[in-house]
Amino acid sequence: VSPMKLKNAKSLICDLLQNSEDIRCKCICPPYRDIEGQIYKQNVSLKDCNCLHVVEPMPVDGKDVEAYCLRCECKFEERSSATIKVTIIMYLSILGLLLLYMVYLTLLEPMLKRRLFGHSQLIQSDDDVGDQQPFANAHNVLSHSHSRPNMLNKVEHAQQRWRRQVQEQRKSVFDRHVVLS
């Protein structure tokens, strides 16, 4: 592996990780004589972050440059656009997954259960008014009728228990208003 290839690989990785546009120097210069207030931005490193390097084109001539630059304030700022991108994409994917799961739970799963097991086995449902899962005991019926591998049973059991917990919470928060005003 030649050193040139190594160097290329390294610079590629560096570029991926740190966008060179993520640093900048921002100089705010107030009005001076008849020049208006201006803001100058350039992406230079910390050592070059001063008025002389950043303010281009310099609006005043030779002798006034120092006076002008004394009034300017220069700040070095950096950010990480990779972090922002990753965070937003993760957030949107989690939100999308939750929405899909919600749609699945409320719309698709009852349809699937109905199609698989027919209407008759699922008549005995809870009489609760706020019951969102009228087929809540579908899994009990399942476990009696089929023999399933243990892992799947466990997952379904856990999911059923979670659903019941959420139902309880929903009843106490939304319906009876005993918790959380």
* CA separation for the pair 142, 120 (Å, rounded): 13
On whether the CB atoms of residues 68 and 60 are closer than 8 A, the answer is yes
83 binds another protein (CB under 8 A): yes
Contacts with 170 (C-beta within 8 Å, 6 or more apart), sequence order: 130, 132
Size of the site for another protein (CB under 8 A): 51
Q: Which range of residues in 4-12, 37-45, 109-117, 137-145 is near another protein by CB under 8 A?
A: 37-45
39 binds another protein (CB under 8 A): yes
Q: Of 7, 10, 41, 148, which lies in the binding site for another protein, with binding defined by CB under 8 A?
A: 41
| Residue (76 or 117) nearer to another protein, CB | 76
Give the helix/strand (H/E) hosting 27: strand 23-29
In the bound complex, what is the minimum distance in angstroms from residue 50's beta carbon to another protein? Answer: 17
Q: CA torsion sign, 157 to 158 to 159 to 164?
A: positive
| Residue (45 or 87) nearer to another protein, CB | 87
140 binds another protein (CB under 8 A): no
